[in-house]
Each structure stands twice: as structure tokens, then as C-alpha cells.
Structure 1
Amino acid sequence: MTATSLRIAAVCLHTSPLTEPGGADAGGMNVVVLEQSLALARLGHRVDLFTRRSDPDAPAVVEVAEGVRLLHLDAGPAAPVAKGDMDAMIRPFREQLRPHLAGGEYSLVHSHHWFSGVSALPLARELDLPHLQSFHSVAAPEGSSTLEAGEPAESEGRIPGEQFAATGSDLVIAVSDAEARTVVERYGVPGERLAVVRPGVDVDRFHPCEDVQARRHRPTLLFTARIEPLKGPDLALEVLARLDPARGARLVLAGSAAPAFAEYLESLRALAKELGVEDRVEMVGTLDRDQLAEAMRCAGALLLTSWSETFGLVALEAQASGTPVLAWRAAGGVREAVAPDGLVQGSRDPDVWAETLEALLADEDRYAAAVRAAREFAASRTWEATAEALASQYTRLVEERA
């Protein structure tokens, strides 16, 4: 390590950074935290990731890579716990985290998601450690009637918990300008305590296939996210149903539903049957990172149908794979994750989406240009660049505290 290297405590209470995204309580945050940590370690810093034990057989410490460890803390049952019940884990997790932070080894604490912030912020204050907060998603305001306002709060504690973490932290790290604006508007965080560090992408793992034009013929459309209303997979089904049947398109839905959304998953199956596309829809469950990369580079297009995203990491991964992305303009940070000439739609009308997709797939030159533009946009957005920006914020806070 260098003389300026930092020892970072990264807290992810409710979900392990090693969990594959697309599952019940795993998504882009898991990828961001893990990849940032690995990239920080490559810069010479050391990162300890703290998460709640949800498996009795999980080891106390996992050596993830040189400079990165994952520590499982006992808080509540050693079993999965629904997000709606996770508030009860906050205090016991804090008590398990206390001796680790009290040892004096860490330069700072970076909490991810509000559960982590509410748990770790009081310790950071007590121990005079800089505390940074990343939300990765911000709850919709109380009383919101539409999904475009954001993720509905899973418990009564979420909105006051986000307020506490946002206003009490030394710095809030947002993943997009859109998320930063939301934090300012809803929680009043002043600009000097707010920074934007956008996620990166592994451009070696996510890369185009050799024959990109082959993807235009009988194309596979890809949706990848948790299966829940906020992510809008029903729109993906509606778009498929409106494409010319002669095109032979099919849709792969990659992701799993939490138990709370089991009925919603069944409603999607019923919708596919009602639309007459059930034989062209494949629900494949959660994909690991290599499987997702393979699916990305083989897809004709990614349908990012979310009502709300703080960033939309899968859009960046798809573009690194040379895969055009269709997304909704009003979905928060999506416009920052998609190339300026990307296919960002001003409407959620499936007819409009289908027309846009048909025009792209029918034009060989336009499709080739879209593939090139997508890859070029993503190529410079590496995790190394993200880690350098994050380390700069860390160093500034530590030096100010010294």
C-alpha cells in the first residue's frame, strides 16, 4: 500500500455485495459496491465490506480479493429476512459492527442504503470517523400514487431513516445528478455535502459479439431486473406483442421476484398468454455476471422499462456489449446512463417503443452505428475512473477531519 492508502469500512446491512443482482433484494447496488471496492483495492486502498449473515454456513470472513474482505455479522436470524422486516436488524447489526469500528483501524465509514446508514452513522459519530452515505435508491414521498416517484417505502422507518442518514452524514455520494437532485429536494442536503460519483462498467466482461448484425434477425430482446412493478416488465411484454410477428422476436426476462411479488410474477405469465406471446417469452430467473454478459452481447436490444432508476447500471453494461438500449426518459438517472443519441423514449406507450425498435432493427446501417455509439459511450466509463473519483472524496474528508 502507498503512504496515502485508506482503510475503508463499507456497510451493506441488508444484502451482500457478493449476491448476484436481479434476485429478491439484489440489484445494481450490489454490483456497484463490489466493483468499486475491487477498483479501490487496485488503487492501493483496503476495503472491508460488512453485511448481515443470512446463511448459517457463511464464513465469518471471505477474502474476496487482495485488499478486499467481506465480513458477515450476526444480527437477527441467519436466514433471509424480507426488506419490510429489516428495520429490526438495524440495532443488533450496529452492536456487532461496533467492536470492528472501535479498533481504530478505519479511515472512514461508507454506508450503502438507508438500513446501513441508520445502523452505522451513530457509531461513526461516536468514534469521530467520517461517514459517507449512498442510497442507491430513494423512497417515493409518503402518499405518492405513481411508481415514477420512486421505490415505495418498504416500512414506516424508511423515510425518516433516509432523512437521518442524509442530514447527519459528512457527505452523501449520489450515483447520478438525478439522484442528487432528489436528495436535495426531499431531504434538504446542502450542495457542499453532496457529490456525484457515477458507476462504471467492466468493459472486458461486457463486450460486443463478433457478428453484431446477426442479432437483428429473429432478435432476442432482453429485460434484466428484479421482477416487480417498479421495473415495468409488463411494458416489455406489451412491446414484444406489438412487433411484426414476421420479425420472429423473442423476449428473455432475467430476474427473480421476492416473495412479496409472487402474485405479480404470475400476473406477467397471464399477460403473456393474453397477448399471445407466451411461446416467445422465456423467464430465466437470476443470471450470474458471466451469464448476464453473454445474454447482453447476444441480445438485439435491452428494454429498460423501469418507472424509476437512480442510474440504470444495466444500460451501461448493455452499451458496453454493443447492445442498443430503449428506456423511458422520465426514469430518473437513466438519461445519464444512456448515450446522448440513445433510444430514450418520451412515452411509455408500447406502440411507440415497438415502432422505434422496428425502425432500428430494419436498418442495417443505423443498427451498426447504434452498436458503435453504444460501445464508445461505455468504453471510457470504467470502474477505475469511478474509484479514482470516490477516493478523491474520501481523501478530502479524511484530510479535513485531521
Structure 2
Amino acid sequence: MPVAPLRVAAISLHTSPLEDPGGADAGGMNVVVLEQALALARLGHQVDLFTRRSDPEAPAVIEVADGVRLHHLDAGPAAPLAKSDMEQAIAPFRDALHRSLATGTWDLVHSHHWFSGVAALPVARELGVPHLQSFHSVAAPEDAESLDAGEPAESAGRIPGERFVADGSDLVVSVSEAEARTIGERYGVTGDRLAVIRPGVDVDRFRPCSSLEERRHCPTLLFTGRLQPLKAPDHALEVLAHLDPALDARLVLAGGASQDFEEYLSELENRAEELGVTDRVEFAGSMGRDELAEAMRCAGALLLTSWSETFGLVALEAQASGTPVVAWRCAGGVQEAVGPGGVVLSSRDPDVWAEAVQSLLGDADGYANAVRSARDFAATRTWESGAQALAALYARIVGRDGADHHPSGGESA
């Protein structure tokens, strides 16, 4: 049933939805926020995106598409900030956001990541509009001993901030059932205050290439993501080193390092040299969306090596490109993102991964079936269907009595 047009304020404080993922602190969240906004606009809704100005030359407002605008708000220095330094921007961003939202009428505020929620939730309360929160990643507990528990908190305010917005939001929208379980376990959000809307994929941009044989023989393996320990690009290097030399495989590492991990690229380069694979590794840096789509459809397989992923959007994009995925089973929502044709492993032993890659690429008929299955699976996950489900959630929240808009009644974090 169609939802009457809504006016939505979508908040992404620390990173612009227009930034290409894989560089600095941009990632799958950027894609989700932008593509959801565009899909909602195609359904007739108005979405205004609000982000922190990190470039003094950026215009105040960018008309992204019909029904979608991006607003740059002044909050702290008009320069990039490391995530570990981003808390200083929350209070000034909150003030700037209040001034912006107070000039109009909004149906709801939807914050993405905890920085955004801590800034926007008090504004939504004061203006009397519902607030929805999406985390996109949930901080690992303070006593976590392994990266598979999630992303370590980059600053002291993260875990209290996540708890504040989890308690105070009308609805928490997660990107996977796995993330929803984590939010429920760590912050006690359950029942009708927790919903799942999985990301989609642009199957026109991410599409298969015509030649499978080129991808199987002398194959290129692809890793894409921010270069940081959580994403484990070092494991991709280990896998390459353990492959049969006769396969003549190479590895492309697509992504950049954020300010908090500036030295990590050098560590990876040193590790490649130690493993003797430097001549077969390309450090490609951050790629634009079209460039990434080309790399994906030319790759023999995607290595999704992350210790933890709330969903694993790159897996869906690879499958839409007809590129099978080899991933780790314990990485949060990855199992929801990888369909038939993919290989999800319960071991991080590089020999096990190397054997899986060789088995996948060494069977011509099996590989062709994996390619078809991957594409068919991805084709069922569109941004349009996700936007329809999200709009239905919005309508439900907007239709509540005003007394429901502030569940916690607490003070700002």
C-alpha cells in the first residue's frame, strides 16, 4: 500500500553520503544512506541529508536529485576529522541542525551512526518529531578480546552514546538480523522498537562481464574496504601467499586508510614483502562507484575477510556483478548477505581459504553455476523494495500518538 509523501531529515554527521566508500571513514553506510534516500525520493518522499562540513569550499546545499538535497552544516573545523576526534563536533553540529530543522516542518529524523544520533535526538525531542536510529556498526564491549566482537570504540563517548540513542529513539533500524540481535543483547532494544531493513544493490551498475574464462585463468582476487585491522586485508595477503603458484593469481586491495590508521598501509606493504607477494598485489586506493563496479565484474572472486560486518554490502555488490564471494562465517550479518554460489568459511586458516578459492576457480561448470546463482540472489535485493519497507516503518512511527515520541525521557548524552 503506497505511503503518503513524507519529509525526512536523514543525519550523517561524520561522513558525507556523497563520499565514495573505501576511503577515509566512508564505507557501506555512505552507500546505504544515499541509495535509501534516492529510492525514497523515487517513491515520492522528500529527503534532506545533513552532514558536517569538512571542506570550506563545499556549497551549503547540493541538489543531489529530485527530492534529495544534501546540507553541509558548520560544526568544528571545516576540515577532515579522525573518528577519534569527532566527538568535539557533536555539540556544534546539534546547534546547527536545530537551526536548520526549526525553519521547516518535518515528519521524522533518521540518524545514521551514533555521532548523528547523539546530536540529533535532543533536537528531534525539542521539535516534537519522531527519531529513528541506525547504527551501521555497534561498538564492541569494553572487555572484548577479539575483533570479531565488533568495531572497537574510537572514543570514550561511543558506548554511552549508543546506549543513549538506543534508549531514546522511537525505532532502531538495523541492517541485518545479526545486528538486531547485537543491539537487543547489548542495549535491550526489542519488540516493536527494533526493525530490520537490509541494504539493496544497483543491479544495473553492478553487472556481470561476458567472459568467465578470463576470470578463472590467471585470476584477480579482490578485497575492497577501508584499510584497517577490523577489515583484515592482511588476511587477504595471507590467502594469496598460500595459493598454488600455478594458479598465477593476483590480488587487488581497493580502499584507503582513515586518519586513525594512517600507518596501516605501510604495515600491509611490509607484510606483502615478507610473504613474497609484492609483485602480485596492487594497492589500488579508494575507488569511485563505477570504477569499483568494473573491478568487481572483472574479478574471479571477492575475499570478504572482515572480522565483523553488520551486513557486508560489498558481498551483495560482488554477487550482482556475478562475482562469487569467499567470506568468514562469524562476521556478523555476512551470512545474510551471501547467497547460493558463495563460500562462507568457519575457519580463518589461510590454507583453508586458499583451498576454497582454488576449488571455486578450478571447476569450470561449478564456477559458471556460482556466477549465475550469485547474480540471481542479488537481483532479489533491490533498493526500491527496501525503500518501500522503510517508508512503511516511517508511516507507522509518524502515525503514533505524540506521547510515544520520547521513550526514555532522559537527558542528552
Q: TM-score band, normalised by the shorter chain?
A: over 0.9
1:152 is aligned to 2:152: yes
Q: What amino acid sits opposite 2:26 in the alignment?
A: A
Q: CA deviation at 1:341?
A: 4.9
Question: Equivalent residue for 1:121?
Answer: 121
Q: For residue 209 of structure 1, give the secondary structure of its aligned residue in structure 2.
A: coil
Q: What amino acid sits opposite 1:191 in the alignment?
A: G
C-alpha contact (below 8 Å) 1:320/1:379 kept by paired residues: yes
Question: Equivalent residue for 1:61?
Answer: 61
Aligned sequence identity (%): 72
C-alpha contact (below 8 Å) 2:340/2:373 kept by paired residues: no
Q: What amino acid sits opposite 1:278 in the alignment?
A: T
C-alpha contact (below 8 Å) 1:130/1:401 kept by paired residues: no
Question: Equivalent residue for 1:319?
Answer: 319
Q: 2:90 & 2:352 partners in 1: Cα distance?
A: 45
Question: Equivalent residue for 2:175?
Answer: 175
Q: For residue 400 of structure 2, give the secondary structure of its aligned residue in structure 1.
A: helix
**Aligned positions of 1:3-402 closer than 5 A:** 4-401=4-401
Q: CA deviation at 1:340?
A: 4.3
Q: What amino acid sits opposite 2:82 in the alignment?
A: A
- Consecutive unaligned residues in structure 2, runs of 5 or more: 403-413
Q: What amino acid sits opposite 1:318 in the alignment?
A: A
Q: CA deviation at 1:102?
A: 1.7
Q: What amino acid sits opposite 1:401 in the alignment?
A: D
- Consecutive unaligned residues in structure 1, runs of 5 or more: none
Q: What amino acid sits opposite 1:271 in the alignment?
A: R
Q: CA deviation at 1:224?
A: 0.2
Q: 2:72 & 2:204 partners in 1: Cα distance?
A: 30
Q: 2:59 & 2:103 partners in 1: Cα distance?
A: 21
Would you say how many aligned residue pairs link Structure 1 and Structure 2? 401
Q: What amino acid sits opposite 2:343 in the alignment?
A: L
Describe the superposition over 1:224-261 as per-residue Cα deviations: whole angstroms up to 9, x where unpaired: 00000000001100111111111110000000012332
Which range is displaced more, 96-105 or 295-304? 96-105
Q: For residue 262 of structure 2, give the secondary structure of its aligned residue in structure 1.
A: helix
Question: Equivalent residue for 2:411?
Answer: none
Describe the superposition over 1:168-204 as per-residue Cα deviations: whole angstroms up to 9, x where unpaired: 0000000000000000000011221000000000000
Q: CA deviation at 1:98?
A: 0.6
C-alpha contact (below 8 Å) 1:208/1:297 kept by paired residues: yes
Q: 1:63 & 1:33 partners in 2: Cα distance?
A: 15
Describe the superposition over 1:306-343 as per-residue Cα deviations: whole angstroms up to 9, x where unpaired: 00000000000000000000000000000000004520
Q: 1:267 & 1:43 partners in 2: Cα distance?
A: 46
Q: For residue 269 of structure 2, give the secondary structure of its aligned residue in structure 1.
A: helix
Q: 2:225 & 2:341 partners in 1: Cα distance?
A: 23
Q: 1:196 & 1:258 partners in 2: Cα distance?
A: 29
Q: For residue 198 of structure 1, give the secondary structure of its aligned residue in structure 2.
A: coil
Q: What TM-score, normalized by structure 2, do the two folds share?
A: 0.96
C-alpha contact (below 8 Å) 1:327/1:334 kept by paired residues: yes
Q: 1:285 & 1:3 partners in 2: Cα distance?
A: 41
Q: What amino acid sits opposite 1:217 in the alignment?
A: H
Q: 1:132 & 1:66 partners in 2: Cα distance?
A: 23
Describe the superposition over 1:248-304 as per-residue Cα deviations: whole angstroms up to 9, x where unpaired: 100000000123322221111111111111000000100000000000000000000
Q: 1:354 & 1:219 partners in 2: Cα distance?
A: 13
Q: 2:123 & 2:166 partners in 1: Cα distance?
A: 15
Q: For residue 37 of structure 2, give the secondary structure of its aligned residue in structure 1.
A: helix
Which range is displaced more, 93-102 or 225-234? 93-102
